[in-house]
Amino acid sequence: MNAPAQSDGTRRIQRVGIVGGGQMGAGIAEVCARAGLDTVVAEADAAGALAARERIAASLERAVQRGKLDRISAEDALARILFTGDLEDLADRRLVIEAVTENADAKTEIFTALDKIVEDPEAILATNTSAIPVMRLGMATRRADHVLGLHFFNPVPVLPLVEIVSSLHTAPRVADSVETFVRDTLGKTAVRSQDRAGFVVNALLIPYLLSAVRMAESGFATAQDVDAGMELGCAHPMGPLRLADLIGLDTVAAIAESLYDEFKEPLYAPPPLLQRMVQAGLLGRKTGRGFHTYGRDR
């Protein structure tokens, strides 16, 4: 017996849009383009679009220099990406992934706009949020059944995991379609999570990072010794404070606040030192200084 024809919601995804060309958005766009997909990156303006292009070009060049990608493939990938300062250029996309700053109001505004712009009612709208409820973003649209979380990890071209997060409204066939896309098209491993703050990975990771911050804050051990202890004593590839710097201390604090708001558990509360560092603009690698100091070219 022949299988029923696939509906629009489960057709193979070939046209992808990314909202936001920062560290995460650029990484997502790169892996999509390297997978042969027609990719559009939408930034707030032309200057942001140019910065996104430069960020992806630099990442592809690093992959070439490290022998992970040949130059022709890198050039082809960059050529598959359209960079724009206009959300309207996402109108024909089959999947749009929002990857802007971890701010609920900003993300909600984008989903409201995308719902009006993206023409195909069966198109899927996804968020790369680390902790904001997917339900909230879905309810900002008229297609909550086609909204889900698609959470990549930094650096996106390197790390193989993606969390797929369904809200109470997300249609099962939509989540299944996205899982197939993640696995078969992007070549990554997918795990499923319920729509709760932190999902799977950050619900486990953030308390660990916050514990390390508290240890350094109390003077119990230096940041260098905390990280050396976990790297050399527990065989972790990166210590917790260096990892927090890589993620971005502002992002760590935002995820912690979302977790604490939902569960009211003290282990999720961002420590005062973390909050002060964010206020001071000491956000980790992206600003050159966090718990450790970094060269600006890194």
Tell me the per-residue pLDDT of 138-174, one tens digit each, with 9 for 90 and over. 999 999 999 999 999 989 999 999 999 999 999 999 9
Residues of the chain with CATH 1.10.1040.10: 203-286
Q: Of the listed 43, 128, 163, 258, which one is catalytic?
A: 163
Q: Fold for 8-194, please state it.
A: Rossmann fold (3.40.50)
Q: Of the listed 59, 98, 128, 151, which one is catalytic?
A: 151
**245-269 average pLDDT score:** 94
Instruction: Answer yes or no: 163 catalytic.
Output: yes
Beta bridge partners of 149: 127, 165
User: E-assigned strands of 240-288?
Assistant: none
Handedness of CA 141, 164, 11, 26 (dihedral sign): positive
Q: What is the pLDDT of residues 188-239, one digit of tens each?
A: 999 999 999 999 999 999 999 999 999 999 999 999 999 999 999 999 999 9
Cα torsion for 50, 53, 55, 59, to the nearest 10°?
Answer: -160
- DSSP assignment of 107-145 equals HHHHHHHHHHH---TT-EEEE--SSS-HHHHHTTSS-GG
Q: Of the listed 130, 166, 193, 258, which one is catalytic?
A: 130
Task: Give pLDDT, residue 296.
Answer: 59
Question: Which superfamily does CATH assign the domain made up of 203-286 to?
Answer: N-(1-d-carboxylethyl)-l-norvaline Dehydrogenase; domain 2 (1.10.1040.10)
Q: pLDDT confidence of 275, banded at 50, 70, 90? A: very high
Cα torsion for 289, 200, 203, 235, to the nearest 10°?
Answer: -60
User: At what angle are helices 71-79 and 23-34 packed, to 10 degrees?
Assistant: 110
Beta bridge partners of 38: 15
Q: Are strands 161-166 and 189-194 parallel, antiparallel or unpaired?
A: parallel
Task: Give pLDDT, residue 131.
Answer: 84
Q: Of the listed 128, 166, 167, 202, which one is catalytic?
A: 202
Q: How many CB atoms lie within 10 A of CB 22?
A: 17
With beta carbons less than 8 A apart as the criterion, state whether 208 and 122 touch.
Answer: no
**Full-model pTM:** 0.89
Taking CA atoms, 48 is separated from 42, 54, 154, in Å, by 9, 10, 20
Q: pLDDT confidence of 5, banded at 50, 70, 90? A: very low
CA angle 273, 129, 155 (to 5 degrees): 80
Instruction: Answer yes or no: 236 catalytic.
Output: no
Burial level of 7, CB count in 10 A (0-12/13-18/19+)? exposed
Percent composition of the chain: helix, strand, coil (DSSP 3-state, to 5):
50, 15, 35
Q: What is the pLDDT of residues 22-62, one digit of tens each?
A: 999 999 999 999 999 999 999 999 999 999 999 999 999 99
Instruction: Answer yes or no: 130 catalytic.
Output: yes
Q: pLDDT confidence of 8, banded at 50, 70, 90? A: very low
Q: pLDDT confidence of 10, banded at 50, 70, 90? A: very low
Residues of the chain with CATH 3.40.50.720: 8-194
